[in-house]
Structure 1
Amino acid sequence: MLLYDYSKSTAAYRVRIALGLKGLTYQRETVSLLDKHQYSDAYRSLNPAGLVPTLVDGDVTLSQSLAIIEYLDERYPQVKLLPSDPVQKAQCRSLALDIACDVHPLNNLRVLQYLTGPFAHSDDDKITWYHHWLKQGFDGLEAKLQGLDSPFIGGEAPNLADICLVAQLFNARRFAFDLTAYPTLTRIEAQCQTLDAFIQAHPDKG
């Protein structure tokens, strides 16, 4: 199994966590987004969108982190990352998509580069944009999860929503976003960060 990866990519971080939680062995191939390796002909032959991550598992090649994680959950079901109950599964997906669809894309590297490139916005404008959309998303998540008394969103073990949350909080800290108003989110994050799968997947590990 081979993961085309960039250490600071929020989406790739999600997949590394999932692989770790499942105890799967894999190799990593770094695709430097800053050096624009994602636009090389070789990489685009695997992922025409020029995004990370891409997972190659035998004759299967997949992009999009949530699709990859759901594939891993069905192909290697020994540790489940989505509930089997249809209502609980939908609720888990809903929380994950709150982050992956409504927060992350607006703060993606290529969006930020477009703001400061063709649109000629300042770095201060970029940070204001970034913080605005984080606040919108995190306010909603904190409200949804308020009163949660389990260690993880997934109950006694982390699930897809926990994975998405931890990766997005890492990105928030990179841009000096104040998380004081989100005690539930940061409590869940702290619990996740006690697990080896989260520790080993962390972008600071390279």
Structure 2
Amino acid sequence: MLLYDHPFSPYGQKVRIMLREKGLAFTQSLPTGIGAGNNDDYARHNPRMEVPALVVDDAHTLYDSSVILEYLEDAHPSPALRPADPLERARCRMIEEVCDTHYEAINWGLGEVRFFGRGADRVDDFRAVAQKETAQLQAWLSGHLSASGWLSGSDFGWADLCAAPYVMMSGIFGFAPERGTPLSDWLERVRQRPSVEATFAEAKTQVEPMGQVAALLDAGLFKRQYRDHRLEWMIRAGGIDVVTQGLAKDNIRFTDLARFAS
């Protein structure tokens, strides 16, 4: 299988963790032009022009990380990463959904400030909002830890691999769970899994290169995708002018639905 991905993408990270947990062979590729949304060849695989996308075979490509995880679990059920109980499965999906939307948007917004130079005159204000909301979501995740210390029930599983990239990324931005708390202890247990250790190591190699992307944005070679909860977060955090300035400079983008018709 071929995985189109970027090491810093939390959506890609959870897919890589699952592939590794299941012992499935895959190769990785970073689509060129993905940052500007202008790779017509890659759009055949994912008209949303985002990662990840999994090429299963010559005739089938899947996109959307949640869809990919569902496929991998259905096609390769051992080892099982979904709980057997239907209610527990639903709870894992709920945790995944909250992390993929509300939690991702906070880290994404912090990336806008730190790496892309948006709102440079209000960095402290944006970080204050992010710190408060990150703490709220981390407390929510803590409430879902089972007596065994996992989010997925009795052992590491679906909810753990879905939440881990976001909590790890919080640490990169300076908002890791407080040491000694149940969520901090959970993250340390998660890190000990070879699948997670390898995936997190790949992400950390991108921290320094990400410090150079602001120049690409200024040169018009990069357009950040402002979609759904990301747009909501930026406005909620007081950055509606960041959005309007990005529109004026043409360095933000939205999903081009015309690609679905091509």
- TM-score, normalised via structure 1 length: 0.84
Instruction: State the partner residue of 1:85.
Output: 85
Which runs of 4 or more aligned residues in structure 1 lie more than 4 Å from their structure 2 counterparts after TM superposition? none
Residue identity matched to 1:80: A
**Which of 173, 176, 180 is the equivalent residue of 2:174?**
176
Gaps of 5+ in 1: none
Residue identity matched to 1:92: C
Instruction: State the partner residue of 2:132.
Output: 132
Q: 1:18 to 1:161 in 2, by over 3 A?
A: same
| Preserved CA contact (<8 Å) 1:116 1:122 | no
**Which of 184, 194, 200 is the equivalent residue of 2:198?**
200
Residue identity matched to 2:123: D
Deviation at 1:69, TM superposition (A): 0.7
Q: 1:181 to 1:200 in 2, by over 3 A?
A: closer
For residues 94-134 of structure 1, what are the alpha-carbon distances to aligned partners after superposition, in whole Å with 9 as ceiling and x for unaligned?
Answer: 22222122211343369837x965x7763334423432332
1:104 paired to 2:104: yes
1:57 paired to 2:70: no
Q: RMSD value over aligned CA atoms?
A: 2.7
Q: Secondary structure at the match of 1:108?
A: helix
**Distance in 2 of aligned mates of 1:144 and 1:56:** 33
| Preserved CA contact (<8 Å) 1:37 1:43 | no
Residue identity matched to 1:154: S
Deviation at 1:9, TM superposition (A): 0.9
Q: 1:107 to 1:200 in 2, by over 3 A?
A: closer
Deviation at 1:21, TM superposition (A): 0.5
Instruction: Using the TM superposition, name which of 4-13 and 183-192 deviates more.
Output: 183-192
**Distance in 1 of aligned mates of 2:43 and 2:177:** 37
Question: 1:16-165, aligned counterparts within 5 Å?
Answer: 16-31=16-31, 36=35, 38-58=37-57, 59-108=59-108, 112=112, 117=118, 122-145=122-145, 148-165=146-163
Q: 1:42 to 1:125 in 2, by over 3 A?
A: farther
**Distance in 2 of aligned mates of 1:2 and 1:151:** 33
| Preserved CA contact (<8 Å) 2:167 2:176 | no
**Distance in 1 of aligned mates of 2:49 and 2:172:** 23
| Preserved CA contact (<8 Å) 2:83 2:153 | no
Percent of aligned positions that are identical:
25
Instruction: State the partner residue of 2:233.
Output: none
Q: 1:155 to 1:86 in 2, by over 3 A?
A: closer
- TM-score, normalised via structure 2 length: 0.67
| Preserved CA contact (<8 Å) 2:191 2:197 | yes
**Distance in 2 of aligned mates of 1:100 and 1:108:** 11
Gaps of 5+ in 2: 207-262
| Preserved CA contact (<8 Å) 1:31 1:38 | no
Rg larger in structure: 2
Q: 1:5 to 1:184 in 2, by over 3 A?
A: same
| Preserved CA contact (<8 Å) 1:38 1:52 | no
**Distance in 1 of aligned mates of 2:3 and 2:96:** 21
**Distance in 2 of aligned mates of 1:168 and 1:49:** 21
| Preserved CA contact (<8 Å) 1:31 1:37 | no
Q: How many residues align?
A: 201
